[in-house]
């Protein structure tokens, strides 16, 4: 079985800027895959190469075995991209935009039942005759998803799909995306909301400075993080012993956030040292690291707080 997306030694330079540096990995068919990284990591460049909007300096990208350059028609018909920016034609109705989008890929009247289904699922059915200018920001975001699905792509790429939307819309969008995934669609997600990636994605690639810093299942990435997080509320935090102060990553009033190595630092030893210094512990809270801590560790930064 072909991979849904194969990225093979992809390199991209913009003058002196090395946006992608020999990036290689595969996205499996039917997978919910997270593509994460800080701003400038190369995520959008990689998506644009997948979509045929940017030409790689070297390397190849294939969608279900079809090269995005030499077999661009077939590759693009298998891919639907939801862009981060709100891009739409203000002069066509919602229905006309979807019909035109499907028409680009050779779909005509026989595709209308699918378009109506998409509109129903995204709560846009009663907006079909409206123009995008008449829609709220959240409805425009739904319209972008509907456009990406108009030609029934096997692989759906979501580039920051919930950026700037309210909590209710975010939840409804994810219910729909989960349904698409359950129906066999391969989903590729980029997001700065790491709790979304942790909740939804099965495997995750983390990019930084144009390179893949990690590629693994969510569970394996979390296991690789060698720390646990401890938050203490103290009556005299300014008198911390040196051994405990060395573990501190944040001071906030009477609260101190500590970062403990699993193989070396024990919570009991920390508390014993605090008590020995004559400091009263008012509250204690421990937390296992989440994807955010792993992300910050791999991209060269450190967590600064314990939630």
Instruction: Kindly report, residue by residue over 136-172, the tens digit of the pLDDT.
Output: 888 898 999 999 999 999 999 999 888 777 788 788 8
289 pLDDT more than 80: no
What's the full length of the chain, in residues? 307
Alpha-carbon separation of residue 307 from 237, 285, 286, 293, 303 (angstroms) = 18, 9, 9, 11, 10
Which span out of 22-36, 151-165, 251-265 was modeled with the highest average pLDDT?
22-36
The pLDDT score that the predictor gives to residue 300 is 62
Residue 76 pLDDT class (50, 70, 90 cuts)? very high
pLDDT greater at residue 32 or residue 286: 32
For 176, the enclosing helix (H) or strand (E) is: helix 167-182
Alpha-carbon separation of residue 139 from 144, 158, 219, 234, 245 (angstroms) = 9, 16, 34, 48, 50
Cβ atoms 253, 287 nearer than 8 A: no
Class of the domain covering 226-288:
alpha beta
pLDDT greater at residue 223 or residue 79: 79
Comparing 79-88, 103-112, 222-231, the range with the smallest average pLDDT is 222-231
The pLDDT score that the predictor gives to residue 35 is 95
Comparing 68-72, 98-102, 136-140, the range with the smallest average pLDDT is 136-140
- Ranges of each domain in the chain: 5-222, 226-288
307 pLDDT more than 50: no
Mean pLDDT of the chain: 89
User: How confident is the model over 218-241, as pLDDT tens digits?
Assistant: 888 887 777 888 999 999 888 899
CATH topology of domain 5-222: Rossmann fold (3.40.50)
């Amino acid at each position: 079985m072909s991979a849904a997306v194969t990225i093979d030694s992809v390199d991209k330079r913009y003058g002196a800027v090395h946006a992608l540096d020999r990036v290689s990995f595969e996205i499996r068919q039917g997978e919910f895959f997270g593509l994460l990284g800080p701003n400038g990591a190369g995520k959008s460049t990689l998506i644009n190469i997948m979509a045929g909007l940017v030409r790689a300096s070297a390397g190849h990208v294939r969608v279900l075995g079809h090269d995005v350059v030499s077999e661009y028609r077939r590759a693009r018909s298998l891919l639907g991209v939801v862009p981060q920016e709100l891009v739409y034609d203000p002069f066509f109705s919602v229905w006309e935009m979807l019909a035109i989008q499907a028409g680009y890929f050779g779909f005509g009247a026989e595709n209308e039942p699918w378009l109506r289904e998409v509109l129903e699922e995204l709560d846009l059915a009663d907006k079909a005759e409206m123009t995008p200018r008449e829609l709220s920001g959240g409805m425009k975001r739904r319209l972008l998803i509907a456009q990406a699905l108009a030609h029934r792509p096997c692989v759906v790429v979501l580039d920051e799909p919930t950026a700037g939307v309210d909590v209710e819309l975010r939840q409804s969008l994810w219910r729909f995306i989960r349904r698409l995934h359950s129906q066999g669609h391969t989903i590729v997600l980029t997001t700065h909301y790491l709790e979304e990636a942790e909740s939804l994605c099965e495997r995750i690639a983390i990019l930084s400075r144009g390179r893949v810093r990690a590629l693994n299942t969510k569970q394996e990435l979390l296991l690789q993080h060698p720390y646990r997080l401890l938050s203490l509320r103290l009556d005299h935090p300014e008198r911390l012993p040196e051994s405990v102060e060395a573990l501190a990553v944040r001071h906030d009033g009477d609260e101190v956030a500590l970062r403990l190595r699993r193989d070396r630092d024990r919570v009991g030893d920390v508390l014993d040292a605090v008590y020995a210094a004559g400091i009263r512990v008012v509250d204690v809270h421990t937390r296992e690291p989440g994807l955010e801590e792993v992300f910050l560790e791999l991209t060269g930064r450190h967590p600064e707080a314990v939630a």
